[in-house]
């Protein structure tokens, strides 16, 4: 069993979370733009505190077990608790009908997959990639990885193998330097266009802020000015925040392999905080 925090879209908790963040972030937008690295760090820490407090207040904590079902919701849990308290046949019938209705509603929505994609086999689990047997452990340098420490050592030794090696930068001497150009400040249109091309379904970073949230928050002129002023301050001051470098590492399988017994058969994905990726997109444009 493990615990997981999440916020589901189009729910009252999600709406309350967005409302709380919008109200507090709007007050930060009235402040003067930061002009020193210390002021930038202070403003970002204030934003992080707002995100964290709103997340801790409204996020739902669920127990994830091998019996967890996607169609299970609070109404099912409520009727089941009522039956456990009374042990009456009527309460059991109420729980069974509620569970049946939730299943029907969930799988009616899943039925759209076969209608939109014209691929009914997407609904069948037996046609998908088979999971590896639990008894096949990953091995690294001839030793099996049977615990978390050995597994972490294998992954760290594979993906950070070049860490600490000297780098010869003389190869950059042959690259011609272009003449410096005058910096053009970020515009609201550039930030809007950078947000528009980003998918709202991408996974967030450690701060749990998604592209959809940034789009929703940027609709407020005060918050949009706050984001724009912070991005501009990072360029003028020449300070790249440590918050922009924080990330989550997700390890996924490389498809089409006969076995997955070595770390090289996995792919590492880095999930940066979304606001840092927004500034990078504006800068690269």
Q: What is the pLDDT of residue 169?
A: 86
What pLDDT shows up at residue 175? 87
Q: Is 87 helix (H, G, I), strand (E, B) or coil?
A: coil
- For 43, residues 6+ apart whose C-beta sits below 8 A from its C-beta are 28, 31, 34, 230
pLDDT for res 10: 64
DSSP structure string for 192-217 = HHHHHTS-TTS---TT---HHHHHHH
Closest by CA to 60, choosing from 105, 96, 6, 127, is 6
**For residue 131, what pLDDT is reported?**
62
Longest dimension (CA), the chain: 83
- The answer for residues whose C-beta is within 8 angstroms of residue 191's C-beta and 6 or more apart is 218, 224, 227, 228, 231, 278, 282
pLDDT in tens, the chain (285 residues): 455 666 666 667 777 777 877 888 887 777 777 888 888 888 888 888 887 787 777 777 666 555 567 778 888 888 888 888 888 888 899 988 998 888 888 877 766 655 565 555 556 665 566 565 555 667 888 888 888 888 888 888 888 777 778 888 888 888 888 888 888 889 999 999 999 988 877 888 888 888 888 888 888 888 888 889 889 998 888 888 888 888 888 888 888 777 777 888 888 888 888 888 999 999 888
Angle between helices 274-284 and 211-218 (to 10 degrees): 70
CA torsion sign for 220, 50, 204, 247 is: positive
Q: Residue 140, SS3?
A: strand
């Amino acid at each position: 069993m493990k615990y997981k925090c999440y916020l589901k879209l189009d729910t009252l908790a999600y709406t309350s979370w967005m409302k709380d963040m919008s109200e507090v972030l709007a007050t930060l937008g009235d402040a003067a733009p930061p002009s020193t690295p210390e002021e930038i760090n202070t403003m970002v820490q204030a934003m992080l505190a707002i995100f964290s407090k709103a997340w801790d207040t409204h996020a739902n904590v669920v127990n994830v077990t091998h019996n967890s079902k996607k169609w299970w919701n609070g109404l099912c849990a409520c009727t089941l608790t009522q039956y456990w308290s009374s042990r009456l046949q009527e309460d059991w019938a109420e729980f069974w009908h509620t569970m049946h209705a939730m299943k029907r509603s969930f799988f009616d929505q899943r039925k759209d997959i076969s209608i939109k994609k014209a691929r009914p086999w997407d609904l069948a689990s037996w046609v998908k990639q088979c999971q590896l047997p639990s008894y096949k452990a990953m091995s690294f340098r001839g030793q099996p990885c049977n615990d978390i420490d050995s597994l972490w050592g294998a992954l760290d030794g594979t993906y950070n193998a070049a860490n600490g090696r000297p780098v010869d930068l003389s190869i950059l001497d042959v690259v011609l330097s272009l003449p410096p150009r005058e910096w053009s400040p970020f515009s609201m249109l550039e930030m809007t266009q950078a947000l528009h091309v980003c998918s709202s379904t991408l996974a967030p970073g450690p701060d749990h802020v998604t592209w959809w949230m940034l789009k929703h928050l940027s609709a407020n002129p005060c918050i949009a000015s706050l984001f724009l002023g912070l991005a501009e301050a990072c360029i003028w001051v020449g300070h790249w925040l440590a918050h922009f470098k924080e990330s989550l590492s997700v390890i996924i399988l490389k498809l089409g392999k006969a076995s997955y017994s070595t770390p090289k058969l996995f792919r590492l994905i880095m999930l940066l905080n979304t606001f840092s990726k927004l500034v990078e997109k504006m800068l690269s444009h």
